[in-house]
């Protein structure tokens, strides 16, 4: 499988659970590329659904953790998450319409 995003330790935030979630998210574009190569629209839609659900779960987990530890930049980070979630929805709509990414 072609790897567009390869996880490396430089991406680590030092929290095992968040790092594992980031690894999962980072692998999804690789899965989407493979589905595109197979020309499987069903698989592409499944991968995008996975991405949307997983990022929502991850963003909520991360937000709750940041608030629990009193992270000072939590609101700015939540805004970044909202922007990324919007971009993810746009990408998913493109896949659903079967447009090139």
Condensed to tens digits (0 to 9), the pLDDT of residues 36-93 reads 888 887 888 888 888 888 889 999 999 999 999 999 999 999 999 999 999 988 888 8
Tell me if 81 is assigned to some domain: yes
pTM over 0.85: no
Tell me if 3 is assigned to some domain: no
Tell me if 11 is assigned to some domain: no
Tell me if 69 is assigned to some domain: yes
The pLDDT score that the predictor gives to residue 96 is 73
Q: How far apart are CA 70 and CA 96, in angstroms?
A: 39
Name the domain count of the chain: 1
The answer to whether 49 touches 20, Cβ cutoff 8 Å, is no
Residue closest to 2 by CA, chosen among 47, 32, 22, 23: 32
Q: Which CATH number does the domain housing residue 75 bear?
A: 1.20.120.50
Tell me if 32 is assigned to some domain: yes
Tell me if 101 is assigned to some domain: no
Instruction: Reply yes or no on whether the pLDDT at 99 is more than 70.
Output: no
- DSSP E strands: which ranges in the chain? none
Tell me if 8 is assigned to some domain: no
User: What's the domain range around 25?
Assistant: 16-96
Tell me if 9 is assigned to some domain: no
Instruction: Reply yes or no on whether the pLDDT at 100 is more than 60.
Output: no
């Amino acid at each position: 499988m072609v790897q567009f995003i390869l996880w490396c330790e430089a991406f680590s935030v030092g929290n095992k659970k968040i790092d594992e979630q980031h690894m999962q998210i980072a692998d999804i574009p690789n899965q989407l590329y493979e589905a595109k190569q197979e020309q499987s629209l069903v698989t592409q839609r499944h991968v995008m659904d996975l991405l949307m659900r997983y990022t929502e779960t991850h963003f909520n987990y991360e937000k709750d953790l940041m608030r629990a530890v009193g992270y000072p930049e939590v609101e700015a980070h939540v805004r970044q998450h909202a922007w990324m979630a919007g971009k993810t929805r746009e990408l998913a709509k493109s896949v659903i319409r079967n447009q090139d990414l």
